[in-house]
Amino acid sequence: MVTDRKGFTLVELLAVTGIIAILAFFALPRYNVVYKEQSLYTAARQLAVDVRYARTTAVESMSKVTVNVQADRYDISSEIPSIAAKSENLPAGIQVENPGALSFDALGNPVDASGNPIPALYTFNLKDNRGQYYYVKITPVTGKVTVDHNP
């Protein structure tokens, strides 16, 4: 007797569901680690983008623009009141280990609070609560901003 079978049996469905559950059991912990690492990288990239924005704004407005980085947030301000200030909070669990202020002069050169050119590579160290680091580096003279996993 031949019957037309359509669909799957309950045993087949349970077997596939079990295989998917086992794969998810091993994949989800790794996903959580990748998500946290990506959060740190994203915060470092956003800080780098905003530092570049500060440099561009300084050149466009022909004024000094300052990036003031605190442990859990950073602010961008200008000497000219008409230029909108910007403030950003870092994601939870991410801190800047070496807070400080960096300015850009009207030519886009990175300078310290006194207006003197920075003598060496300027770095903001971002750290998450797992001890992972990303570094936002500002090159003296050129003001080039990079993000790196290595100090």
Report all structural domains of the chain as residue ranges with CATH numbers, in order of start: 10-148 (3.55.40.10)
pLDDT of residue 31: 67
Could you read off the pLDDT of 90-111 as tens digits, one per residue?
A: 999 999 999 999 999 999 999 9
Q: What is the pTM of this model?
A: 0.78
Residue 143: CB atoms within 10 A of its CB come to 24
Burial zone of 124 (CB within 10 Å; 0-12 exposed, 13-18 middle, 19+ buried): buried
- List strands edge to edge, sheet with 122-128: 94-96, 122-128, 133-138, 145-148
Cβ pair 110, 122 in contact under 8 A: yes
Residue 106: CB atoms within 10 A of its CB come to 14
For the chain, first and last CA: distance in Å? Answer: 74
What average pLDDT does the chain have?
A: 90
Confidence of residue 28 (pLDDT cuts 50, 70, 90): confident
Q: Determine the average pLDDT of the residues in 134-151.
A: 92
More confident residue, 69 or 32: 69
Could you read off the pLDDT of 71-92 as tens digits, one per residue?
A: 999 999 998 888 878 999 999 9
pLDDT of residue 150: 87
